[in-house]
Structure 1
Amino acid sequence: MEYKHTGDRVYIRLDKGDEVLESIRQICADEDIKFASFQGIGACDKVVVATYIPAKQDFLLHEQKGMLEMVSLQGNIVTEDYGSLQEHAHGMFSYLHPATGELAYLGGHLHSARISYTAEILLDVVQDGFCGHKVDPFTGIKVWKFA
């Protein structure tokens, strides 16, 4: 992993074996970034995405291995009241279905993604402000809390 911090942006190149969300959290910790959004593209060899099941208030995990194109990565990272960084990301991946050889897609809440070749990620840093989470009383999920 290498990155360049210029103004309100961080340009990130991830390399084979790097984990996407772990790398973003590490850069934010190293650069003292408290609140940012990110987007990216790349290639992965293992991803886990999730679908939220409201009735269970839990996620159903979906794992895929092989050659996966990271068609789209979008997310944000905030600092919780107790100081830890928390990301929220969604990803869309394309791959060739192992049984049919046809193009298939996998997308959802990103749990993890390991880079197989490279990824290019743009981190937009919010300099003036702070954002954390609070629990929404109507849905029971964490939502942005502005300070």
Structure 2
Amino acid sequence: MAYFGKEFKLDRQENYDGFVNFVYDGVADEQYRQALIADKPTMKLIKSGDGYAWCCTKADKSTHEERFVPGVEYDEVIGGKNAKHTTTVDGNVFTKVTKFPEGNITIKKEFKDNELVITYTCTKWEGTAVRYFKA
């Protein structure tokens, strides 16, 4: 897979502000939400044994790494709420479903040539957000 270890930088986004404002309403203040919307992160996927690691470097150079094994559910606290995550892999598409008591968030990451397209949907939100990253 040619995309392993390759860095993808945010190029453009559609309706991401709507997604962030819906998901973080009542959880994070306006300043935090605006910082998320304005950030231009770099994403990288690393294969490690049976699992993977998503590495995200924000514009301020802070990093976040998320490790997972496909199909294996794991717990995490997000914004003070308990959540369960499961990521599945189908070829070049990685789909993560995050389950909260209030509903689910689905993040689909699809690699295309020199592009990474991330699509965000959420139960109880009628919109769809898309972020486009270039290698």
Length-normalised TM-score, structure 2: 0.31
Q: Which has the higher contact order (CA 8 A, sep 6+)?
A: 1
More helix by share: 2
Structure 1 or 2, whichever has the larger Rg, is 1
